[in-house]
A and B are shown apart, each in its own frame.
Chain A
Amino acid sequence: MAEDLSNSPRKASDYRRWFLKGVVASASIPALILMSAFVGFAGLAREAGITLPQAVFMTGMVWALPAKVVLIGAIISGSSLPAAAFAVALSSVRLTPMVVSLVPEMKTERTRPWVLYLLSHFVAVTSWVLAMEHLRTVPRDMRTVYYGGLGGTLVVTNMIVVTVMYAVAGSLPPVLSAALLMLTPIYFLTSLWGSARESAGHFAMIFGLVLGPLFHVVLPGFDLLAAGVIGGAAAYLVHRMRKGRGAAT
């Protein structure tokens, strides 16, 4: 019953080779789009009054872009730390099922748990999509190394992008400066719509888009939480009702 996957013991050069293959796999169209989103994030962070080291720190520590945009939104609207943490946590629950589906792809009987915990930090939409696409072509015992190369490169590259763009953003002419700040909303407007798996996601987006600015006026400081909870719950109910009706006919 023992499935011995590695008849030949792996050499250090094998690890290095597959790590580098992961690094190379990070050069892709999704990664380019992600970089443009981080260009926008740098401008956004600067306008929110966040310093360059703080913006780079945030990029490395939080990584997931929606979570960072929510965190900056909370900072701009003057939320307290508990409210900000709650909003960010609420926006990031979907990381759990993403990691849950990725772990069995990478795990072998010999994988040490701390390696998986460390690698899970790299999970965000882009690296997850690339990993799910490429991992099946990688020998099973090389998959953690490969994902380390892929995810690590994406994080470090975008930390550099944020550093450079933050420095440049201050000296842009007004039109380009405005265009830079439009990048983040339009990136999410399109990518969020595309990633919705069921109608609930589309309704949630429409409700959130309208309720966010509305609660910004009515409930400053709690606008994001209120819009997220009310908009999300309403979208879920609409989804349930539509599903119920569909099943009845």
Chain B
Amino acid sequence: MTFDAFDAWWWPYLFILVGGWLATDAWRFLGVYLGGRLRDDTDALVLVRALATALVAAVIGNLIVFPSGALAAAPLALRLLSAAAGFGAYLLVRKSVVVGILTAEAVLIAGLYAIGFNGG
């Protein structure tokens, strides 16, 4: 039952519908149903947010440590340095996401040129 388990054209779309659409819109619809009957700062919601944040952070960690495509050929040390530089710049410059992204990309691109990166 993995994404490429079946050779039918519709299987990936069904996978996206059930694994993606249903798994997100169910929560949105529940939100409409509950209307204004839920407070935002209850303890249960703190736990829920923590679980969701850790899950997304786990994906981020994997995308940096075990990336795919051309990024996989870049040295791990450079990937970590780029991410750390971007995050550091973000913290230093008024928590600006733009500054964080630009810094990380600048460090990565400069580093790749410095080592004569050709994707191999």
State the A residues within 8 Å of B (CB).
Answer: 29, 33, 36, 43-44, 46-51, 54, 57-58, 61-64, 66-71, 73-82, 84-104, 107, 113, 116-117, 120-121, 123, 173-179, 181-194, 196-198, 200-201, 203-213, 215-216, 223-225, 227-233, 235-236, 239
Contacts and interface: CB of A to CB of B under 8 A. Distances in A.
B55 A71 contact: no
A49 B15 CA distance: 14
Given A69-B63, A87-B55, A182-B105, 18 more contacts: A46-B69, A47-B69, A48-B68, A66-B52, A71-B20, A90-B55, A92-B52, A99-B31, A101-B36, A179-B109, A181-B69, A190-B87, A192-B60, A201-B49, A212-B60, A213-B61, A228-B52, A228-B54
Contact of B27 (A36, A44, A49, A96): A96
The DSSP consensus for interface residues of chain B is: helix
B50 A103 contact: no
Interface in B11-34: 12-13, 15-32, 34
Contacts of A196: 49, 53
Given A174-B117, A212-B57, A184 B63 contact: yes
A214 B92 CA distance: 29
Contacts of A93: 27, 48-49, 51-52
B58 A33 contact: no
Nearest to B22: A85
Contacts of A67: 20, 23-24
B18 to A, nearest CB: 6
Given A43-B69, A88-B19, A209-B61, A229 B51 contact: yes
